[in-house]
A and B are shown apart, each in its own frame.
Chain A
Amino acid sequence: MATNLHPTTNGTTNDDFTVKAGLAQMLKGGVIMDVTTAAEARIAEEAGAVAVMALERIPSDIRKMGGVARMSNPEMIQDIQKAVTIPVMAKARIGHVVECQILEALDVDYIDESEVLTPADDQFHVQKSDFKIPFVCGCRNLGEALRRIKEGAAMIRTKGEAGTGDIVEAVKHIRTVNADIARAKAALAAGGDLAISALAREIGADVALLKQTAELGRLPVVNFAAGGVATPADAALMMHLGCDGVFVGSGIFKDAETPEHAAKRARAIVKATAQYTDGKALIAASIEHGEAMRGISNAGLKPEEKMAGRGW
């Protein structure tokens, strides 16, 4: 019954992408929170999260425990789906087509092909346009973002260093993306299509997507910040730098003394994201937030301990 209700057969490819990218557009200005249980998902929903990311361990615990990090147990994802009415996202390993098939069959709302999990393929990402379910992927620069969009990603997040509570890498990468976009605009203005082609070769991006980016003056899909957001001020900073919204991973539940404390943190970050230009609202949000996760300084991490570098 449910299947014949949906006229997917009249949809063109173009329509499919409109639907995939459209959900991301509806999440703009919002906060997507990492949750590991149905109870945490309810805290996120009550706090005003626009979506939750279901995963077995928050990134700071993945970092601490080591080992191979994989797609979450489907049973745990189903528990979270039953608990909330907002969209539920879940992570698959980079290049792991079958984990993506499982998540699609689970009917999650978005798949994050994520460097926070241990990559399954050291050469290729998933061909995301082959799936009906939409994907979000990370990037450190414009070339990486446009490679993911070319593969079919309908949403991008600029990578930070997940699980650290240190915002520096997230700032570095959104600045890089912004600088790359400025360069593309300048190239189009000065040298037209030839200059765009040359720049596309240099950064490893699709020519048509790069031209579209230059014309729009922004990424052609929604772009959230992710990784290292630990306080309301961090979330507001990422909005200030031009992100469309934020993912908060460990920042809500790590080192929270009680569920009430986590709920306060979650509410505070939602408020700061919605009102990132309002100083008074940011004061109130910072007070409500209370003590943040302790965190790990990015400067003290060895290169092999960094997750943001995963992705090709």
Chain B
Amino acid sequence: MVNKPIAVGVLALQGGVVEHLNLLRKASAHIQSADNLQFTFNEVRTPPQLAQCDALILPGGESTTMAIVASRLGLLEPLRTFVKVQHKPVWGTCAGLVMLAEEAAATKQGGQELIGGLNVRVLRNRYGTQMQSFVAGLDLSFLGDSGKDDPFRAVFIRAPIVEKIITEGEVDGSKGSKVEVLGVFRAEGQQARLEQGGEAEKGDIVAVRQGNVFGTSFHPELTNDIRIHVWWLRQVVDALGHGK
């Protein structure tokens, strides 16, 4: 039996949209399943387009702009329903991670609208201005063996981090999945002390998952490395009950 294709959207209000679509197309060639499933990849700008999607990526960009434009287009509530009521799989990179957090610090005066879904507080622009943007190799064990042997070259641009995991009870309706930390960045000094047998310093949380909601501080879409896109598409396939 041939299933209906899985519709994956990329929120296209602003930012690195094409970059995600390109990597998704490359990554989909690596997904094998028992029932020969197909994917479609589309830009999402309106509530009807969102309603067509089985899963969604919120790309990098300026989170203040995205929140303002989404609100003016009447997309915020449909997005909240998509993430928190329908529990469809979503992945936010950088600004997308900010949008998926329940709380954000260092926002513009007066704060900004968020979608939520991750019981975390993000800190915007953790490392400072563009002069402090950087690329670093990350060990991402959720990628399996390849994540251990071949660090992921993670691009951090005016990046946010997860500064706090909000424990259950602090946020309404937080029952259910727990927040899992999937990636930590340690600056050179911290990493060296760890390797010399020092106590593991906490480092910065830069990849998290809670149920079907996944977020990264960095931009896999600015590299040619498809591993995280392949991993995420597999998560989408599993969440939608295909290939079992």
Q: B34 an interface residue at 8 Å Cβ cutoff?
A: no
B144 within 8 A of partner (CB): no
Asked if B131 and A133 sit within 8 Å, CB to CB, the answer is yes
CA distance A271 to B95 in the complex (A): 19
Q: Is the CB of B129 within 8 A of A28?
A: no
Least distance between B207 CB and chain A CB atoms (Å): 17
Shortest CB-to-CB span from A164 to chain B, Å, is 27
Q: Please tell me if the beta carbons of A10 and B158 are within 8 angstroms of each other in the complex.
A: no
| Contact of A29 with B17 in the complex, beta carbons under 8 Å | yes
Which residues of B are at the interface with A, using a C-beta cutoff of 8 A? 12-17, 19, 45, 60-62, 64-65, 68-69, 72-73, 94-95, 106-110, 124-125, 127-137, 153, 155, 157-158, 187-189, 219, 222-223
A283 → chain B closest CB, angstroms: 14
For the complex, what is the distance from the CA of A73 to the CA of B65, rounded to whole Å? 27
Query: Closest CB of chain A to B41's CB: distance in Å?
Result: 18
Assess whether B127 is in contact with A45, with CB atoms less than 8 Å apart. no
**CB contact between A134 and one of B14, B16, B110, B130 (< 8 Å): that residue:** B130
Instruction: Tell whether, in the assembled complex, residue A86 and residue B187 are in contact, meaning their CB atoms are under 8 Å apart.
Output: no
In the bound complex, CA of A306 to CA of B47 (Å): 45
Residues of A within 8 A of B134 (CB): 6-8, 11, 15, 19
Chain B residues near A132 (CB, 8 Å)? 131
Do the beta carbons of A22 and B222 come within 8 Å of each other?
A: yes
**A46 vs B127: C-alpha distance when bound (angstroms):** 23
Q: A25 interface residue, CB < 8 Å from B?
A: yes
Task: Answer whether residue A55 sits at the interface, using C-beta atoms and an 8 A cutoff.
Answer: no
Given contacts A6-B187, A28-B14, A51-B62, 11 further A-B contacts (CB under 8 A): A19-B135, A22-B219, A26-B157, A29-B17, A30-B15, A48-B72, A50-B14, A50-B61, A132-B131, A271-B69, A274-B73
The 8 closest A-B pairs by CB, nearest first: A48-B68, A109-B130, A29-B14, A15-B135, A5-B187, A50-B62, A48-B65, A22-B222
* Most B Cβ at <10 Å: residue of A4, A18, A85, A86: A85
Check: A42 CB closer than 8 A to any chain B CB.
Answer: yes
Identify B155's interface contact among A5, A18, A274, CB under 8 A: A18
Residues 32 to 48 of chain A near chain B (Cβ within 8 Å): 42, 45-48
B48 nearest CB across to chain A (Å): 13
Q: Are B125 and A85 in contact (CB under 8 A)?
A: yes
CB of B45 within 8 A of CB of A275, answer yes
A109 to B128, CA, bound (A): 10
Q: Is the CB of A26 within 8 A of B95?
A: yes
Whether B69 and A48, one on each chain, are in contact in the complex, defined by CB atoms closer than 8 angstroms, is yes
Which of chain A's residues have a CB closer than 8 A to the CB of B14? 28-30, 50, 274
* C-alpha spacing A42/B132, complex, angstroms: 23
- Given the known interface contacts A18-B135, A19-B135, the answer about A4 and B65 at a Cβ–Cβ threshold of 8 Å is no
